[in-house]
Amino acid sequence: MTAMTQTEVTTARGSHAATSGPILEVENLTKYFPVKSSGLLRRTIGQVQAVDGVSFQVQRGSSLGLVGESGCGKSTTGRLITRLYDPTTGSMRFDGREIGKLSNRQMQPLRSEIQMIFQDPYSSLNPRHTVGAIIGTPLRVHKVVPEKQVLNRVRELLEVVGLNPEHYNRYPSEFSGGQRQRIGIARALALQPKLLVADEPVSALDVSIQAQVMNLLQDVQKEFDIAFLFIAHDLAVVRHFCPEVAVMYLGKIVEIADRDTLYRRPHHPYTQALLSAVPDVRQAAVGGRRERIRLEGDVPSPINPPSGCRFRTRCWMAQDICAKQEPPLIQIDATHKVSCHFAGERGTAGAVPVTLSTLGVDRHGNPIAGAQTAEDGHTGPGYAPTWKTLEERTAASAPLADANGVSAS
């Protein structure tokens, strides 16, 4: 990227940030669950590293998609942001205020501004309460409207989500799965939040119902200017809804970029494998098949993750450095970060790791005496106004590849 183009991008992003800015900034967020031994004396014998050093930000009124395999830490991240879980370490700044260390009493005023749509529309609704009580309880707890106006507000919310307002006195068992999810959405919207964590809101629904719920969420976002952290497995749904997407693997973000860049030019092998599994209707229409990348082996245990790069046990490009050094999340474009020693489009990745100048190591991952590390990883949330392209990083890393007598060939 030329200097002029980079300046233009920086200026445009800066003017946009001045008017909107991030509503949520997450930096080095971790959550470890203790593993207890059996018996009377239940000692901690290990830690489940569910979320380990995650950093991202969500812009006001925008959406960030969070994708990855089951068990990679997506739902745990969402529950940390809503403070259903307490973080082990890290920072979470919501609307400029640190919320990671607030007590339950201190979080109470912020509960109305951070809401969550749960994945299962069957277990997330109390079967003993009517729809009116389910949606009206947040209004009463936070005293958003006077008691006499709660019922009218509940009816308005039911109408917003496409349900019959007169069904407020029915129980969840009298509704279908799609209707129950709409009730969950209405409950989340009752307090007019600034941030909505949607934990796979359409995964349990039929395809026809999925389209209705997705359109509903888009309409709600436009009407109320709500920011979304959208957690999902379906990459097609995420592409439709989110302008920015982050890919998680075993508790870490391995790639984050704007929608077009991530889907058209993924640079991490795990992202490439995920996208290769998505059916392409347009390609099927013209004939031919897209190459399917099949990952071998199972996902490692988060109790004892692999050293270095956590994806190396299933990666076809893994080398010595991948076992010794954890790849930093480096910025390679205006809105693109990737965590891989051999980042690049499929088939174009070079033989020299692009992270050598950042880590100060040789191509085998051994530290080089006297080598100065480049502080250009920018592992914090958001994107830096300046960055180095992959070509620039390769050129800076090439001299280090031959250090300690190691051949570059």
- The pLDDT value recorded for residue 376 is 56
Distance CA 34, CA 84 (A): 17
Q: Which of 191, 224, 259 is the last residue of a domain?
A: 259
Task: Report if residue 360 sits inside a domain.
Answer: yes
259, 283, 316 — which closes off a domain? 259
Decide if 264 is inside a domain. no
Q: Is residue 239 part of a domain?
A: yes
Alpha carbon distances (Å) from 188 to 95, 112, 168, 176: 19, 9, 16, 19
CA distance 182 to 309: 40
Q: Which amino acid is at 6?
A: Q
Task: Check residue 320 and give its pLDDT.
Answer: 92
- Spatial neighbors of 262 by CB under 8 A, at least 6 apart, are 245, 247, 255, 256, 271, 336
Angstrom distance (rounded) from CA 203 to CA 332: 33
Q: Give the per-residue pLDDT at 285.
A: 57
The pLDDT of residue 245 is 96
With beta carbons less than 8 A apart as the criterion, state whether 20 and 60 touch: yes
CA nearest 332: which of 271, 275, 397, 377?
Answer: 377
Is residue 264 helix, strand or coil? helix
φ, ψ of residue 237 to 5 degrees: the values are -65, -45
On whether both 162 and 234 belong to a single domain, the answer is: yes
Please check whether residues 136 and 246 belong to one and the same domain: yes
Q: Where are the alpha helices (DSSP H) in 161-293?
A: 177-189, 207-224, 235-241, 259-264, 269-276, 281-286
What pLDDT sits at residue 343? 93
Q: In this structure, what DSSP letter does residue 361 have?
A: B
Range of the domain at 378: 306-398
337 vs 262: CA distance, rounded Å? 10
Residue 196 and residue 58 in one domain: yes
Domain edge (last residue) among 231, 259, 287: 259
Residue 174 inside a domain? The answer is yes
Q: Are residues 246 and 372 in the same domain?
A: no
Are both 89 and 199 inside the same structural domain? yes
| Domain CATH code at residue 135 | 3.40.50.300
CB-facing half-sphere around the CA of 97: CA atoms within 13 A: 9
Q: Residue written as tokens 């395999």?
A: 69
Looking at the structure, tell me whether residues 255 and 310 fall in a common domain.
Answer: no
**185 and 84 housed in the same domain:** yes
Domain membership flag for residue 16: no
Domain annotation covers residue 351:
yes
Residues in the chain predicted with pLDDT less than 70, given as ranges, are 1-20, 280-290, 371-379, 403-409
What lies within 8 Å, CB to CB, of 327 at 6+ separation is 308, 309, 339, 340, 341, 355
Pair 312, 249 in one domain: no
Rg (CA), the chain: 23
Q: Return the exposure string of 162-180: e unless at least 16 CB atoms fall within 10 Å of the residue's CB, then b.
A: bbeeebbebbbeebeebbb
Number of folded domains that form the chain: 2
Q: Is residue 97 domain-shared with residue 211, that is, in the same domain? A: yes
Q: In terms of domains, do 354 and 250 share one?
A: no
Give the pairing type, strands 22-36 and 89-94.
antiparallel
DSSP 74-124: HHHHHHHHTTSS--SEEEEEETTEE-TT--HHHHGGGTTTEEEE-S-TTTS
**Strands 89-94 vs 44-59: parallel, antiparallel or unpaired:** unpaired
The answer for residues whose C-beta is within 8 angstroms of residue 161's C-beta and 6 or more apart is 182, 183, 185, 186, 189, 216
Res 92: pLDDT: 95
Query: Is residue 9 included in any domain, yes or no?
Result: no
Tell me the CA distances in angstroms from 27 to 44, 228, 237, 286, one per residue in order: 27, 18, 26, 44
